[in-house]
Structure 1
Amino acid sequence: MKSGRLVSGLFFGLACLYFLLPLVGTLEFSLRARRGEYSLDAYRNVLGDPQFHQTIGYSFILSMATIVLGVLIIAPTAFWVRLKLPRLRPVVEFLTLMPLVIPPIVIVFGYIRLYNTSSWLPLLGSSAGSDFLLVCGYATLSLPYMYRAIDTGLRAIDVSTLTEAAQSLGAGWVTIMAKVILPNILVAILSGAFLTFAIVIGEYVLAALLNRPAFGPYMVWMGGNKAYEPAALAVVAFAITWASMGLIQLFSRFSKHTQARR
């Protein structure tokens, strides 16, 4: 048993080195903007850039909209398939895997083809329409992760018993979904929301070809025009991602603690 723990610890340490060493190297390089000494000049340049604040704020708003749209579509679908249509579950799982097969560039060219200014529904003729299409594209890309997170949460609870109990008290389907099912799979929804947030923050193709001021194209532009700032921007993006993970873990523990007290 001791040798097994030693081997497990060794592999865990090697995995940490594999993932952390590139980040440490990126951090060290980002501090070399001033010749001969370490400085935070690259971080000052990035954080002081108005375009950084504009793009990160834009992507954050779109990520929240994508999460809401994804939950509104996927949670009722997964709930209904698990409760009433279990035979269709393989079909639904197959459909949710399609975004992993179809490249994002195919999706965005389909949007441009169908919704340009000369089409029957010219959504690309306005900023609001382009933003809506971008949110739909992000929701499509996050579909495999959000669906499996919510489906895993539904597996952990007795959906049939909870639904029957709520119906016996006179609750309708909307009430059951909003007040019974969603609170019980909140941790699973947060897991899917984190993955969706990570996808939206780092996505480039959809935002670039739809000509939207998102964070992904800004990172690519910075990488092609600056030396040390791209490394600083990568570290900042990692920090935002890890902060999101920490908040999710904190919220999950708080939720479990509250449920245990009840």
Structure 2
Amino acid sequence: MRKGGAWWAWLTFAIGATYFLVPLIATLEFSMRQRNNPVFSLFGQGYSFGVFNNVFGDPRFQQTFTYSVLAAIFTILLGVLIVVPTAYWVRLRMPYLRPVIEFVTLLPLVIPAIVIVFGYIRMYGSNSMLPFLGTTGGTNVLLVIGYAVLSLPYMYRAVDTGLRTVDVPTLTEAAQILGAGWTTIIARVILPNVLIAVLSGAFLTFAIVIGEFTMASLLNRPAFGPYMQNLGANRAYEPAALAIIAFALTWGCMAMIQFLSRYAPRSANRPN
């Protein structure tokens, strides 16, 4: 039975790996096709890494990627400032609100991003009382807030899972006995204990922001997602190279989550 189970497990793994890897390899093979000055040949087809040099050397790539990275950093900071205190307070003092908070954090998975961004345009447009979209800085702020909303389900669940491994009441009482205030407790006691969970949510947020298209496009921001779409409409090999780069970034973030999860604190069975 064990041998049979292991055989089926490896077969399932092989089928799944083939399903994911074959399109990726085909995309990489297409992106490396080079008609002029091939570096090497295989089955009569010339291949080169020149398309990746073209992509990395494109000023628009550097500008849009830098913009999205900065937007991701601010989104992560905003998400941490909102989620960590909220999840901590719900677990410590208001556990009865946990189903409500979980429902609210799931709404971005139900409400499409295009609905959210159209709401921003109608509410914060030039004809409204709060014309954030009338300035570049205001539009950037709205975009970061929109990204924080999209990443809320992943950030909240990562932090909430991390808090489950920590004895929150005991740590809070010990910090209060030593004279710590609420800000000190969250920043110097709770946050270091859930740092691995926060980093997991941060990497997921980074992957979401890098590939997001709808909000950045409708708000007319120079982000990486619209750049990939525009390049795909006008070039042949560069979009395939960008797809490989985006895939590598996403899976790099997932690999970091798996690596950091090894150092996550293990706890005994504590009540939720």
TM-score range, shorter-chain basis? Answer: over 0.9
Q: Single out whichever of 98-107 and 207-216 deviates more from structure 2.
A: 98-107
**Contact preservation (8 Å) 2:204, 2:253:** no
The CA deviation at 1:12 is: 1.6
Tell me which moved more, 105-114 or 247-256. Answer: 247-256
The percentage of aligned residue pairs carrying the same residue is 63
Counterpart residue number, 2:131: 122
Contact 2:204 2:254 in 1 (8 A): no
Mapped partners of 1:188, 1:255: distance in 2: 8
CA RMSD of aligned residues (A): 1.5
2:172 aligned to 148, 163, 167, which one? 163
1:214 CA drift (Å) = 0.2
Q: Give the helix-richer structure, 1 or 2.
A: 1
| Equivalent position to 1:187, from 193, 196, 213 | 196
CA distance in 2, matches of 1:70, 1:56: 21
Q: Deviations over 1:194-245 (max 9, x none)?
A: 1111110111010000000000000000111100100001111122223334
1:2 aligns with 2:3: yes
Q: How far apart, CA to CA, are the structure 2 residues paired with 1:124 and 1:33? A: 43
Counterpart check, 1:79 vs 2:88: yes
Query: Which SS does the other structure have where 1:37 is aligned?
Result: strand
In 1, Cα distance between equivalents of 2:159 and 2:191:
9
Cα distance in structure 1, aligned partners of 2:12 and 2:254: 23
Q: 1:254: Cα distance to partner?
A: 6.4
Q: Which residue of 1 aligns with 2:228?
A: 219
Post-superposition shift, 1:39? 1.1
d(CA) in 2 for partners of 1:255 and 1:141? 25
Aligned residue type for 1:230: P
Asked if structure 2 preserves the Cα contact closer than 8 Å seen for 1:33 and 1:228, the reply is no
| Cα offset, 1:33, TM superposition | 3.4
* Residue 142 of structure 2 corresponds to residue 141 of structure 1: no
What does residue 176 of structure 1 align with?
185
> How far 1:61 moved relative to its partner?
0.3
Instruction: Note if 1:50 corresponds to 2:53.
Output: no
Aligned equivalents of 1:102, 1:72: Cα separation in 2: 23
Name the CA distance, whole Å, in 2 between partners of 1:78 and 1:215. 31
- Cα distance in 2 for partners of 1:251, 1:192 equals 11
CA contact (8 A) 2:197 2:264 kept: no
Counterparts of 1:238 and 1:102, CA distance in 2: 25
Once the two structures are overlaid, the 10-residue window that deviates more, 56-65 or 19-28, is 19-28
Change in CA separation of 1:101 and 1:254 when aligned onto 2, cut-off 3 Å: closer
Total equivalences in the alignment: 256
Tell me, in whole angstroms, the C-alpha distance in 2 between the residues paired with 1:230 and 1:160: 51
TM-score, normalised with respect to structure 1: 0.93
Output the CA distance in 1 between the equivalents of 2:202 and 2:34. 35
Secondary structure (helix, strand or coil) at the match of 2:34 reads coil
- What is the TM-score of this pair, normalised by structure 2? 0.90
**CA distance in structure 1 between the aligned counterparts of 2:133 and 2:123, rounded to whole angstroms:** 9
- Tell me by how many angstroms 1:247 deviates: 4.1
Q: What CA distance in whole angstroms lies between the structure 2 residues aligned with 1:33 and 1:6?
A: 41
CA contact (8 A) 1:34 1:41 kept: no
Give 2:109's match in structure 1, choosing from 81, 100, 113.
100
CA distance in 1: counterparts of 2:113 and 2:256, whole angstroms: 29
Quote the offset at 1:41 in angstroms: 2.3
1:254–1:101: structure 2 CA closer, same or farther, 3 Å change rule? closer
Deviations 1:91-119 (A, max 9, x none): 01001111111111111111111111121
For 1:97 and 1:6, locate their aligned partners in 2 and report how far apart those are by CA, in whole Å. Answer: 38
User: Residues of 1 paired with 2:256 and 2:101: CA distance?
Assistant: 31
